Amino acid sequence: MASVIMVYSTTDGHTLKICKRLREVIEQHGHEVTIAELKPGVDIDLGPFERIVIGASIRYGKHKPEVADFIERNVEPLRAKPSAFFSVNAVARKPEKRDPDTNPYVRKFLKSISWQPPAIGVFGGKIDYAKYGFVDKTMIRFIMWMMKGPTDPNSVTEFTDWDAVDAFGRKIAADGPA
């Protein structure tokens, strides 16, 4: 049995939902999973854990800055232990953009950090217009219009391929991603 920590960064909670699904899969394999939210100014001690997973969503083209900050502060344990990273974004609703090499945010992000995660997941996110304030709603509708995605302000669309999430969970559970 391994102890696994999942550190996540979210705005609207979908990355947490993915973490919870991963936890279910990993726990089914007999491991213990702790989920911790990454927030500015809050440090998370990775010391007690044998495997590390970091998950973060994209907003306006970027993961939150605290994600890269946390990674740089913890490069040592991230390199030493089996580890994995996953990104959640709307571009990944297209199957051909769900690979670390083809998803523009993940490609760019990996170039900007000192850790090269041995396992990487890229998952489609969720667009739930009712949750957003006026500015975000207007902006994301515009982005979706450009990307030929849903623009109906009453729509809720989940782009996540849960089978792919389950497979990622099994990979982490099997032997550790490294």
Nearest to 121, CA basis, from 173, 175, 78, 164: 164
Is residue 10 within the footprint of ligand FMN (CB under 6 A)?
A: yes
Q: How far is the CB of 17 from ligand FMN (least distance, A)?
A: 8
Applying CB under 6 A, among 60, 101, 146, 154 the residue interacting with ligand FMN is 60
Applying CB under 6 A, among 75, 139, 156, 174 the residue interacting with ligand FMN is 139
Nearest to 128, CA basis, from 116, 119, 141: 141
Is residue 134 within the footprint of ligand FMN (CB under 6 A)?
A: no
Nearest to 92, CA basis, from 137, 21, 141, 157: 157
**Is the torsion defined by CA of 37, 116, 77, 162 positive or negative?**
positive
| Contact status, residue 113 vs residue 71, Cβ threshold 8 Å | yes
Query: What residues between 90 and 119 interact with ligand FMN by CB under 6 A?
Result: 90-91
Residue type, 100: P
Is residue 136 within the footprint of ligand FMN (CB under 6 A)?
A: yes
Q: How far is the CB of 174 from ligand FMN (least distance, A)?
A: 25
The residue with tokens 């982005």 is: 143
Is residue 83 within the footprint of ligand FMN (CB under 6 A)?
A: no
Q: How far is the CB of 110 from ligand FMN (least distance, A)?
A: 16
**By the criterion CB under 6 A, which residues form the site for ligand FMN?**
10-15, 57-61, 88-91, 125-127, 132, 136, 139-140, 143
